[in-house]
């Protein structure tokens, strides 16, 4: 049975539009995020797990080259992003609100371990299935790929404070033959490095 894409789309926007202002102040916002992310993760795996996991067969041919390309593209993206931020904001660029929220959550003791899993692994899976697999892979059967790819990149950039990784992920997905495992691997690599750096800075007493 094919997954009902409309159900996933409606659910994504339902959860995505929940304002944090309705959450009682006594609740732990990190715990709430973990619960919501868990719901999303179960949902996307239930609907698209049979499509996501077989996509890893993409790594059967020339795996070393493909993995090396992921690290190379990440390094290039980091240089481009740093250059853009410095050219726009100078040597002391501001930290986006969502990035600051992630850094704060990763310093909350035991909850930070669970939250780090979602930041590094779970959320990239959720977002790649929605922004790439659904918005591009599924909808390109009805409209031109360039159009849905552009919409996907713009939406992802808007939700992530206009970071260049939106363009990189879109290009990686399309150029790999719309392989969701490859774009997820790049997304997870980027987030995992970010989480690792935050934990490293915290361990040596430097605020991230």
Model pLDDT, residue 13: 47
Q: Closest by alpha carbon to 184, among 58, 75, 39?
A: 58
pLDDT tens-digit map of 96-147: 666 667 777 777 677 888 889 998 999 999 999 999 999 999 999 999 999 9
Helix (H, G, I), strand (E, B) or coil at 76: helix
CB-based burial of residue 207 (10 Å sphere; 0-12 exposed, 13-18 middle, 19+ buried)?
exposed
DSSP secondary structure letter of residue 23? S
The predicted-structure confidence for 44-69, as pLDDT tens digits, reads as follows 899 999 999 999 999 999 999 999 99
Give CA–CA dist 15/101, Å, rounded.
Answer: 18
pLDDT over threshold 90, residue 202: no
What's the pTM?
A: 0.86
Quickly list DSSP for 105-153: HTTSTHHHHHHHHIIIIIHHHHHIIIIIIIIIIIGGGTS-HHHHHHHHH
Give the whole-angstrom CA distance, residue 120 versus residue 115: 9
pLDDT of residue 163: 82
């Amino acid at each position: 049975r094919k997954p009902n894409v409309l159900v996933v789309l409606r659910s994504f926007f339902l959860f995505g539009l929940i304002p944090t202002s309705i959450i009682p102040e006594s609740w732990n916002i990190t715990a709430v995020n973990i619960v919501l992310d868990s719901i999303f993760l179960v949902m996307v795996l239930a609907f698209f797990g049979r499509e996501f996991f077989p996509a890893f067969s993409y790594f059967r041919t020339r795996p070393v080259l493909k993995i090396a390309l992921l690290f190379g593209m990440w390094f290039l993206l980091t240089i481009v992003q740093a250059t853009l931020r410095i050219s726009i904001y100078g040597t002391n660029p501001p930290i986006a609100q969502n990035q600051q929220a992630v850094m704060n959550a990763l310093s909350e003791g035991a909850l930070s371990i669970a939250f780090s899993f979602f930041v590094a692994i779970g959320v990239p899976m959720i977002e790649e299935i929605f922004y790439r697999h659904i918005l591009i892979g599924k909808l390109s059967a009805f409209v031109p790929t360039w159009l849905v790819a552009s919409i996907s990149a713009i939406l992802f950039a808007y939700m992530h404070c206009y970071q260049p990784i939106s363009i990189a992920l879109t290009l990686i997905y399309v150029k790999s033959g719309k392989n969701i495992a490859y774009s997820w691997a790049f997304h997870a690599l980027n987030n995992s490095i970010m989480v690792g750096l935050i934990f490293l800075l915290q361990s040596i007493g430097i605020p991230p």
